[in-house]
Each structure stands twice: as C-alpha cells, then as structure tokens.
Amino acid sequence: MSLRIGTRGSKLALVQTERACKALTDLGIEVETAVIRTKGDAETGVPLHEVGGQGIFVRALDEAIIDGTIDAAVHSMKDIPAQRPRGVVTGAVLTRDAPGDFLAHEMRINEVRVVGTASTRRQAQFLRHDPEIEVKQLRGNVDTRLRKLREGEYDAIVLAEAGLDRLGYKVKGERLPLSQFVPSPNQGAIAVVCRNDPEIIDQISALNDPRTRKDVGIERIVMQEVGGGCFTPQGIYCRDGHLTAEVLSLDGQRQVRIEEDISTPEEAEQCGRHLKREASDLIKEAYKQLGLIL
C-alpha cells in the first residue's frame, strides 16, 4: 500500500514532510506527496486571530484526509488545534527539535526597539521582558519574515528555532531562554496525522518517539483544559515530565504561572484546570481586547 502524504506548500512544510517521508521510505513504505493550499497561506497580511488562528493551517489538510484525497499529513504540531475532527488521529510524533524561540537581529541587542511577531504569546512575553519595546504584526513564511527584517521594517523578529534549524538557516541573533519565553505547546515537534484506519496508523506509528509524545501529550492536555487557543497569551512546555505553564495579559504586565512534575494524564488535567481557574480573568480580557467572543 502506498501512502499519499499531504502538506502545505511553504518551504518549511515541504522540508518537514520530506523528513517524514524519508523515514517512511527507509522503512520500506511507499509514499507520494500532495501539496494542499490553506486559507492561512493565502491571507498573510491579516493577524492570525482575525482569520481563525493557527488552526487554519491544518483545516484544509484535515478535510483532505477525511474525503480520501490524502491518507496523512505532516504538521508543525503547535499548529494543530486542541479540538480535532472525527476520523483524524495523530499517528506519530517525531523526536522533538529545539523547542524555543530565536530572536533574529543584526543590530546590537540593546538597540532593538521594534520587534515583529504575529503571536500574542510572544508579544506578551516581550512586553513583560521590556515594556518599552514596540511589538508590530509580522506574518508570512520564514523567508518573508527574514526579508522584512533585512529591509528594516523591524529591528528584530521572533522565529521558532526549530524552523530555522530544519531549513538550515544561519541567522544572526540569539536563542531566547525557555524560562522567560515559555514556548507554545508542542513547539519544536512534528506530527503526522492520518485517517483513523488501522492499516494506515500501523505504518505511520513506526515514526513515533515515545518520550516526545509523552511530553507533548502533557502539553496538549493542559492546553485543552486552559482553552483559549492561540488567542490567549500562553506558554506551555514539558520536558521529561517537568511542566512549566503560564498565561499572561496581552501587555505582559500580569501573569499566572505554574511549575509541576507530571507523571499521569490526570495530573496534567488537574494542572490545566488549576491554571484556567487562576487565569480566567486574563483569558477573558485577551478575547475582549482582540474583539473575539469566548
């Protein structure tokens, strides 16, 4: 049986898909790829919260799996929403790459005043770090963002370190500390989602890394309990069962943060519920300020 693997058309998506397909081919599994265009790729000039959030990058591929156009799709796992459609499952999670953010800049760090990002989390964390920083909207693929940096539209831009590594890009700047810039849940992880078909799952599951899957699974449970999706400024990161999770106000001046060692899904659920209770006002406030309905 040959597997038909779907992907977005961006350079990063294609590199990630190639990695998964090569791993499957090395196992003797025949694959072919299909590029699926998403609404998120088409509307790059609009803030993510105005076009449906990170889930817009996944929706078209989910639909292609359900209707049988493709058997599976490769995603940056942080783009996958908490709520998943019936008939689509996560077949494998690859070994996690660098989980954190990278600040790309060519000037001296103390001269940076304007930072580009489309992420409410990154915005809030930067404003917490330095309230005098101006955060400006920045969308587009990695090449587009780096071009805008070179053209001087921003003093610095924030990118996922894993994306730069996968593309083989050497960029001036610095890795941001995980303790201050807690990553998005599942950042640095690649997931292969597929139709809920035992034969397909059996082939895809050969790529699974149990350690990564456990950590990102904890992150997803907490994310689901907290809610708010990518609209809420929240960082959730787990390494070998040690969880750090926080919710911030959009201006970065208030926060609720927890750190716990998690060994079971039930403990992750409890942590997520606790964080949601403590941060409920911040979550509601973020939605109101963004003009969204919770």
Active site residues: 79
Structure tokens at 237: 């990161």
Query: How does DSSP assign 82-143, residue by residue?
Result: SS--TTEEEEEEPPP---SEEEEESS-GGG--EEE-S-HHHHHHHHHH-TTPEEE---S-HH
Q: What share of the chain is helix, strand, coil (3-state, %, to 5)?
A: 40, 20, 35
DSSP secondary-structure letter at 228? -
| Cα dihedral 44, 50, 51, 57 in deg (nearest 10) | 70
Q: What does the chain come to in residues?
A: 294
DSSP secondary-structure letter at 166? H
